[in-house]
A and B are shown apart, each in its own frame.
Chain A
């Protein structure tokens, strides 16, 4: 099956800045695909390359096997939901949603009917006569979605679609977006800097850093088996262990990651690594401790190494300054493929 979107050696340079640097990527049809990374990592530029707002400096982009080189945005069967929604302020909600149909030459009655239908799907029936400025953030978001989907794009692009919403609304919209995508069956590509959002919504995630893709995989793979130090640290803030620490903990001499929630506290014994709790951060459902390791004992952890531990809310917490032993399932110590 041809990929819905494919990148081959795609780069986009702005003068000396390599916003996107040699990216290869395949997004399958019908997939909910997330591009995750910090700001400036190239994820938004990738999205704009698909939409046609940017042109690649090098490489080839294909939509369903067809190269889009030289095709302006208006000739690509993709639509975008913008971060600030970009609703037309001079048009009412109905005309905003019907804009694409109007351009495509659909008659007035027909396009208004289809726009109403799309608004109904977004739980906004009867809002057509309002101006965008009269809507709440969540409502604008839905109008933006309706405006894009009413054109039946082959791929829907979403640029930080939930970034402007408050926490509660954001969680609600996460569920809705997921349900919507299953219902319409369109390929969704969405950009986010929020790893929780990416992991909970996407079928597959691409993690970006410095214009390159660090890892592509399903959320479980990316979370549990990060390929690089960057992924381990960015997705779920894992303990990233240098080779000498990994070896000291009984692994090979290679970079490894150890999830804080995989570590459990034990009484102080000779057989386990021991350290002093230097800080505790309360997170609600759990508390994040930082333990500074002592040297000696059965393990060869270099003294001074800091290891983060997540302690569930139901567990007893040690005092800051107290000594604790650490233990984990050997499988939890995941050796990274690449430094």
Chain B
């Protein structure tokens, strides 16, 4: 570098299109957004509209031919007692699974957020991540092995001499069955297991943001651990809990595989959708059934948004 710089104030560089993009930043944005928006808009939103359209069609009960004149008749069928049963059963299961997930997830999330450091932190993170991403079917299958009559759980109960307790539990109507793998309890356990990581991660994220000094301050001000939990930790973790519950609730609402593999013959919304569109060939009724989770989740998300749950995602 010597003395006064010389040369033209303008550098020649290539790039006709590059210049155009600089002059018209909106064009650049358009080029970036167009492919993904076209894909999602046409394929995904288009399909959702197709779904909605199907739900307003009806099926001729004798010929099985789909009648494409718009009608609310199919939605009317949802109100039949058998179908209402399915909806209520699914909602109850979703709620139970969500509540249980919070209970199991909270200690893990709390320990990981507040106590785990360094290597342990990484271990906990992977410990939640790996099951989350492991094959869904394999996880369900694993429980079929565990809950089977001759499986590990039955063996363990016999082993400690509590086989009678398990039998007594299985004989309770409503939650029991021939074996755990064909009981509502089995379905419930598998749901909790499979969706648990979805609850741990948001709660942990929310708890990470609670400084440890806050817990100490509460103790310092004379609160018992229970009071600290009730008045400090729980309110601060709530957005995370709500975010997690969106996952557990929504996933349970739409699942049709778990009740098929572990459970009784009682149907859930997902299973109903699956069966109506498949063997029954009644796509309109399947579509109408599928609208139920959308509406339920819409209401759920609206409430969650008002509680500020999305800040924790």
A72 touching B19, Cβ below 8 Å: yes
B1 touching A71, Cβ below 8 Å: no
Question: Within the complex, which residue of B1, B4, B10, B22 is in contact with A30, where a contact is CB–CB below 8 Å?
Answer: B4
B5 touching A154, Cβ below 8 Å: yes
- The distance from the CB of B14 to the nearest CB of chain A, in whole angstroms, is 9
The CA-CA distance from A55 to B25 in the complex, in Å, is: 11
Binds B, one of A73-81, A249-257, A297-305: A73-81
SS class, residues of chain A in contact with chain B: loop
Task: Tell me whether A77 and B12 are in contact in the complex, defined as CB-CB below 8 angstroms, given that A72-B22, A118-B1, A150-B1 are known contacts.
Answer: no
B1 touching A63, Cβ below 8 Å: no
A154 touching B18, Cβ below 8 Å: no
Residues of B within 8 A of A150 (CB): 1
A77 touching B11, Cβ below 8 Å: yes
- Let me know if A121 is at the binding interface, CB within 8 A: yes
Question: Within the complex, which residue of B9, B12, B19, B22 is in contact with A154, where a contact is CB–CB below 8 Å?
Answer: B9
B11 touching A66, Cβ below 8 Å: no
- The distance from the CB of B258 to the nearest CB of chain A, in whole angstroms, is 45
The CA-CA distance from A74 to B13 in the complex, in Å, is: 7
- Let me know if B23 is at the binding interface, CB within 8 A: yes
SS class, residues of chain B in contact with chain A: loop
B5 touching A72, Cβ below 8 Å: no
Residues of B within 8 A of A71 (CB): 10
- Let me know if B8 is at the binding interface, CB within 8 A: yes
Residues of A within 8 A of B1 (CB): 117-118, 121, 149-150, 152, 184
- Let me know if B3 is at the binding interface, CB within 8 A: yes
Per-residue interface assignment for chain A, residues 156 to 198, with 1 indicating a CB less than 8 Å from any chain B CB and 0 otherwise: 0000000000000000000000000000111000000000000
Interface of chain B residues 252 through 293 with chain A (CB within 8 A): none
The CA-CA distance from A76 to B13 in the complex, in Å, is: 10
Task: Tell me whether A63 and B13 are in contact in the complex, defined as CB-CB below 8 angstroms, given that A30-B4, A72-B19 are known contacts.
Answer: no
- Let me know if B7 is at the binding interface, CB within 8 A: yes
Task: Tell me whether A185 and B10 are in contact in the complex, defined as CB-CB below 8 angstroms, given that A70-B23, A72-B19, A72-B22 are known contacts.
Answer: no
Residues of A within 8 A of B22 (CB): 52, 72-73
The CA-CA distance from A337 to B48 in the complex, in Å, is: 69
Closest to B13 in A: A74
Per-residue interface assignment for chain B, residues 1 to 42, with 1 indicating a CB less than 8 Å from any chain A CB and 0 otherwise: 101111111111101001100110000000000000000000
B4 touching A74, Cβ below 8 Å: no
- Which of B4, B6, B11 has its CB near the most chain A CB atoms (within 10 A)? B11
B7 touching A76, Cβ below 8 Å: no
- The distance from the CB of B7 to the nearest CB of chain A, in whole angstroms, is 6
The CA-CA distance from A219 to B291 in the complex, in Å, is: 72
A68 touching B23, Cβ below 8 Å: no
A66 touching B23, Cβ below 8 Å: no
B10 touching A75, Cβ below 8 Å: yes
- The distance from the CB of A290 to the nearest CB of chain B, in whole angstroms, is 41
The CA-CA distance from A150 to B4 in the complex, in Å, is: 13
Residues of B within 8 A of A186 (CB): 4-5
- Which of A66, A68, A75, A150 has its CB near the most chain B CB atoms (within 10 A)? A75
- Let me know if A153 is at the binding interface, CB within 8 A: yes
Residues of A within 8 A of B12 (CB): 75
Closest to A121 in B: B1
Question: Within the complex, which residue of B3, B8, B15, B23 is in contact with A185, where a contact is CB–CB below 8 Å?
Answer: B3
What are 17 A-B contacts defined by CB distance under 8 Å? Answer: A30-B4, A64-B9, A68-B10, A74-B15, A75-B10, A75-B11, A75-B13, A76-B9, A77-B7, A77-B11, A117-B1, A149-B1, A150-B1, A152-B6, A184-B1, A184-B5, A186-B4
19 more contacts with CB within 8 A, not counting A64-B9, A77-B11, are A52-B22, A63-B9, A66-B8, A72-B22, A72-B23, A75-B13, A76-B11, A77-B7, A77-B10, A104-B11, A117-B1, A121-B1, A152-B1, A152-B5, A154-B5, A154-B7, A154-B9, A184-B3, A186-B4
